[in-house]
Amino acid sequence: MTGGRAWVVSSAGVDEEGAGQVITSDRSGTAHDAAVRRLVDVVRDHVRLIDTGGPRPPGWRYPSVFHFLLAHGRVFTPAPRPPGLDKMPDGACRVNAAHAARTYGEHDLVYAGGMAAYHRPGVAVHLPHAWCVTRDGTAVDPTWDADGGTIAYFGVPLADRTLWPAYGEGLLEDFMRCAPLLRDGFSEAAYAPRGHGIT
């Protein structure tokens, strides 16, 4: 893990009191921690639903993108965009993140894809999303602004630029590109060890 942070998610998914999933960090109690906790819960809920469903592809390493995310996903600390990296168009997060990571090399960015959450009073949205990540695990989002809310990121940072999207859908949304990862597993060379793991 980087930055000395430990994100701990109980293996059973609930704490000893049965009150809910436990995630702790050196910033526990913050709105960001609550958003991360809920985001990981959403991914785990999808895994549980799929695990109780019908047949899975025989011999595949990961039955779904959500299983893949739990195996390789990392948590990232949101931060404002650095000077010179302007907000990019809404609705194009995957292309925006890949373009920013390729173009703004001075910030040492890599592409990351997975799930993100936007929380503010009365609103909680959890969506597939893409963003960039710095070497220290900071999320740099060329598409979303916090606008008074809290954003949480849980995804996979990709070192292999051939896995970054050039057009349209990202790796995790494009079944034809994602199927080999789900079937055969994930090459460590494709992975950028950034962010904070969960256990």
User: What pLDDT score does 21 carry?
Assistant: 31
Task: Please answer whether residues 6 and 25 qualify as being in contact, where contact means their C-beta atoms are separated by less than 8 angstroms.
Answer: yes
Tokens of 71: 């195996």
Q: What is the mean pLDDT of residues 65-80?
A: 94
User: What pLDDT score does 29 carry?
Assistant: 54
- Cα separation, 101 vs 133, in Å, equals 8
Q: How many residues does the chain have?
A: 199
Query: Looking at the predicted structure, is the pLDDT value of residue 24 above 80?
Result: no
Query: Looking at the predicted structure, is the pLDDT value of residue 10 above 80?
Result: no
The burial class, CB within 10 Å (0-12 / 13-18 / 19+), for 170 is buried
**Number of alpha carbons in the 13 Å side-chain half-sphere of residue 6:** 4
For the entire predicted model, the pTM comes to 0.83
Model confidence pLDDT, tens digit, residues 103-147: 987 889 999 999 999 988 888 899 999 999 999 999 999 999 888
Q: Any idea what the Cα angle at residue 14 is, between residues 150 and 46, rounded to 5°?
A: 65
Task: Please answer whether residues 100 and 109 qualify as being in contact, where contact means their C-beta atoms are separated by less than 8 angstroms.
Answer: yes
